[in-house]
Amino acid sequence: MTDDRVRMTNHVWSFSVAQVRQRLKLRELRVLNDFTALALSVPQLAPSELRQVGGGVPVAGNPIAVIGPGTGLGVSGLIPAGDRYIPLHSEGGHVTYGAASVRESRLLAIIGRRFGHVSAERLVSGPGLVNVYQALGELTGATVEPLSPAEISRRALQGDCAICRDALDTFCSILGTAAGNLVLTLGARAGVYIGGGIVPKLGDYFAQSPFRAAFEHRGRFSRYLAAVPSYVIHAQDPALRGAAQAFDRPPAEIGLFAGE
């Protein structure tokens, strides 16, 4: 969204903020990126609403990274500004993904033939998990079924399908690389918080997945990333809690469009 017209990247839905406000007879309507809202919730989350996966302790006064796969790949962050944080309104899920191994290069070549440009979201999202699963089938010569993201995850966790487990492991590894890139870009030594609709449902598997190894695998900066904690958000409706703060911030500060 760059003006009054909102267009969904992963959905056909499009609407005018001003027209919706007028139709609903609202005095004011504010439209906010979902991961900007999620980022706003992070300082409010209780320890019981988080599960730490690796790393040390957060370094106070530093930026916070926020990332999470769902229908797409959401990316945001929090930048400290005095006694509060300024959230980022980012489209970081659409950055070009750079392969971290020869095997990933082969997968990207397969997926690239279909899409042309391979963004992180083409790999780390619900549809991305399907893309990885199908590409692994082509790479290994295995027969793959037309499975949904939920079915791939379920079969992987139940041990019913070796290629499903390979796809989920690869998915988590690529997420680790993407999250590590975000931490390095922001200098997010206060931690990376993982939300979205997929990772919180993976339970104990995620802590033992390749996520953290890929996150830390960064050559000369491996020690830097090894110290950064990563947290999975298990809170109830955290983005709604963050969005509730939208009326306490100037629209320009949090990148929203306000139709008044």
pLDDT score for 10: 62
Closest CA to 170 of 195, 153, 182: 153
Low-confidence ranges of the chain (pLDDT < 50): 258-260
CB 259 within 8 A of CB 18: yes
User: Where along the chain do its domains lie?
Assistant: 102-174
106-118 pLDDT, tens per residue?
999 999 999 999 9
Distance in angstroms (rounded) separating the CA atoms of residues 164 and 172: 12
What confidence tens digit (pLDDT) does each residue in 249-258 have?
A: 776 666 555 4
Q: State pTM to two decimals.
A: 0.89
